[in-house]
Amino acid sequence: MIRIAIAGYGNLGRGVESAVSKCEDMELVALFTRRAPETVKPVTEVPVYSMDKACEMADKIDVMILCGGSAKDLPEQTPAMAKYFNVVDSFDTHAKIPEHFASVDAVCKENGTVGIISIGWDPGLFSLNRMLGQAILPCGNDYTFWGKGVSQGHSDAIRRIAGVKDARQYTIPVPEALESVRNGENPELTTRQKHTRECFVVAEEGADLKAIEEQIVTMPNYFADYDTTVHFISEEELMRDHKGIPHGGMVFRTGTTGFNNENKHVIEFKLTLDSNPEFTSSVLVAYARAAYRLAKEGNSGCKTIFDIAPAYIHPASPEELRKNLL
Amino acid sequence: MIRIAIAGYGNLGRGVESAVSKCEDMELVALFTRRAPETVKPVTEVPVYSMDKACEMADKIDVMILCGGSAKDLPEQTPAMAKYFNVVDSFDTHAKIPEHFASVDAVCKENGTVGIISIGWDPGLFSLNRMLGQAILPCGNDYTFWGKGVSQGHSDAIRRIAGVKDARQYTIPVPEALESVRNGENPELTTRQKHTRECFVVAEEGADLKAIEEQIVTMPNYFADYDTTVHFISEEELMRDHKGIPHGGMVFRTGTTGFNNENKHVIEFKLTLDSNPEFTSSVLVAYARAAYRLAKEGNSGCKTIFDIAPAYIHPASPEELRKNLL
């Protein structure tokens, strides 16, 4: 059995707890939190410890799955934990990945551990498909669409506006853009042509709705470059109709082959997810299996989804995989 | 530059010739044939040699890409060539993959070469997606659909019927089945419910069309388990409208997460290919890059798409991949 521990118990941590319970070759042995351990109530029987006790349990845990945020938690926690454990995280600040990689790599190499970073679907499975597509069809174009799904960052941006009590923002791919890409037309698409944004907003009583709407649709970076729709709804409607955290999207590679580029090809990878954090957790858990196996073989250092032979994430043996899935 | 050679110059060999011409880190240095070399006219300037001269050129070639058929050529040619070269093939007789793997693995290990087998899209990219889907969503179902596309085997089966001059068979996924899978309904589908078959047949003058149609739709294994449509057309129409070799299909993994399996997820990988052999060739060439790099690092033995870290197939460095694609 692979002994898994979780560091951080929010949506992602709960997702990992659930995903590990579905893997016959894994057991969840500890949950670490920065809150007072007795205030954390996991769904399963797993013991809860204070985060600073983790280093005392190095010999009881095979892989630590880090479930904190990319902005503040992971840049510190992943290298700190990699001193004692094989680690997996979902670090998703794309621009800072090289820096995070270097810091985790140094600690892993010094301590003989394996660190797998930026695992999930984007970065993660979407990155993998962008890479495979480019390698297979060197003459072509990449397209990534996100949604329909809830963007936490955009929802938070709306919540910070004065007079807003709560909000939920959906990112939605533009159907005509998808159609054109699927037809292999290789369109050049502006930001506005790729996605629209739809906002469901609960306003404080007596708030100026026109002013809130204006502030949303003109907000730089977040909304100004998109066609944005704003709906004001009641708190009850928000709770009833917008409680879930669905997401997904598509990665396309469209390209040509033949001496005169006469043949067109479209590769599409599509995710339709009821729960963004639970799906991300499921990918983290599969790559925890890889971290365990790679470390057992004597590897150390930081890896990404690009560096790991796919067989490492499936519980079956290479022989079974060749026989049943190839 | 990675020095590539081709063994066998049919549709696949021509596809490899074209695909190599689009890779800046590769050059095509030789083409081997079992025909009289002077009768083979490649599109590019590559020299043509008799197949039995290959063993004399071991130090001039980095990777030999085998472009013969799975039924008779590859079971002999891949191990024979692996004695002298790193090799890549598209062996696609699913039931015989373990046997082929063992025979290539033994030769590769004895001679310090790398052999990558069963590369293409099925087996190949479809296998990879079946495997990733199972590993990430252990509670779920797999679905593979093929088409719309030309099945060479089914077209050949029709051509063997007395009175048939030429034929082209298309495999077509049933739209209702696709819809149900995409909706995450986890349907149980019979062979008939998944695909239909459409045949375009050129009959000899005076042939009994009713008898030909009857023989097609009742043919065991090939057509009896499917809803099959037969169209009789002229030779001109066949040449005009059915000259291409399109194919493609989809791999789905549909599954649930959450302690009560309350959240549904759908992973879809879809290919829409104008030219089946040219796309397969493009995958072969990308994995030839992996064979070269693995051998350079001192690896030997047989590998499949499951065993190769994805970064090996992309021309960019790991640093560039992390920076630009993760």
Model confidence over B251-263: pLDDT tens digits?
A: 999 999 999 999 9
In chain B, residues 68-97 whose CB comes closer than 8 Å to chain A: 94, 97
- The pair phi, psi for residue A143, each rounded to 5°, is -140, 130
Q: Is A310–B128 a contact, with Cβ atoms under 8 angstroms apart?
A: yes
Looking at CA atoms only, how far is residue A292 from chain B in angstroms?
Answer: 15
Q: What is the 3-state secondary structure (H, E, C) of B248-273?
A: EEEEEEEEEECCCCCEEEEEEEEEEE
Q: Is B313–A258 a contact, with Cβ atoms under 8 angstroms apart?
A: no
Looking at CA atoms only, how far is residue B208 from chain A in angstroms?
Answer: 37
Which residue does chain B place closest to A314, by CA atoms? B135
Minimal Cβ distance to B271: which of A125, A267, A326 = A267
Q: Is A257–B267 a contact, with Cβ atoms under 8 angstroms apart?
A: no
SS3 content of chain A, % helix, strand, coil (to 5): 40, 30, 30
Q: Which residues of B touch A182 (CB under 8 A)?
A: 272
Q: Which residues of B touch A90 (CB under 8 A)?
A: none
Q: Is B322–A315 a contact, with Cβ atoms under 8 angstroms apart?
A: no
Q: Which residues of B touch A291 (CB under 8 A)?
A: none
What's the whole-number mean pLDDT along residues B300-304?
98
Cα–Cα distance, B137 to B257 (Å, whole number): 8
Q: Is A310–B305 a contact, with Cβ atoms under 8 angstroms apart?
A: yes
Minimal Cβ distance to A134: which of B314, B318, B323 = B314
Q: Is B259–A322 a contact, with Cβ atoms under 8 angstroms apart?
A: no
Q: Which residue, among B118, B263, B303, would best test binding to A if mutated, counting the most A CBs under 10 Å from its CB?
A: B263
3-state secondary structure at position A140: strand
In chain B, residues 277-296 whose CB comes closer than 8 Å to chain A: 278-279, 281-283, 286, 289
Cα–Cα distance, A132 to B255 (Å, whole number): 24
B45-60 pLDDT, tens per residue?
Answer: 999 999 999 999 999 9
Q: Is B275–A257 a contact, with Cβ atoms under 8 angstroms apart?
A: yes
B152-166 pLDDT, tens per residue?
Answer: 899 999 999 999 999
Q: Is B313–A132 a contact, with Cβ atoms under 8 angstroms apart?
A: yes
Minimal Cβ distance to B310: which of A22, A97, A306 = A306
Cα–Cα distance, B290 to B303 (Å, whole number): 10
Contacts made by residues B205-210, CB under 8 angstroms, sequence distance 24+: B207/B162, B207/B163, B207/B164, B208/B163
Specify the DSSP class assigned to residue B121. B
User: Which secondary-structure segment (H or E) carries A106?
Assistant: helix A97-111
Chains A, B: CB pairs < 8 Å = 212
- Across chain B, mean pLDDT equals 97
Instruction: Write out chain A's pLDDT in tens, 326 residues.
Output: 999 999 999 999 999 999 999 999 999 999 999 999 999 999 999 999 999 999 999 999 999 999 999 999 999 999 999 999 999 999 999 999 999 999 999 999 999 999 999 999 999 999 999 999 999 999 999 999 999 999 989 999 999 999 999 999 999 999 999 999 999 899 999 999 999 999 999 999 999 999 999 999 999 999 999 999 999 999 999 999 999 999 999 999 999 999 999 999 999 999 999 999 999 999 999 999 999 999 999 999 999 999 999 999 999 999 999 999 99
Beta carbons within 10 angstroms of residue B35's beta carbon: 12
Which residue does chain A place closest to B316, by CA atoms? A135
Q: Which residues of B touch A314 (CB under 8 A)?
A: 131, 134-135, 306
Q: Which residues of B touch A323 (CB under 8 A)?
A: 97-98
Q: Which residues pair with B65 in a beta bridge?
A: B6, B88
Q: Is B123–A266 a contact, with Cβ atoms under 8 angstroms apart?
A: no
Q: Is B322–A308 a contact, with Cβ atoms under 8 angstroms apart?
A: no
Q: Is A134–B43 a contact, with Cβ atoms under 8 angstroms apart?
A: no
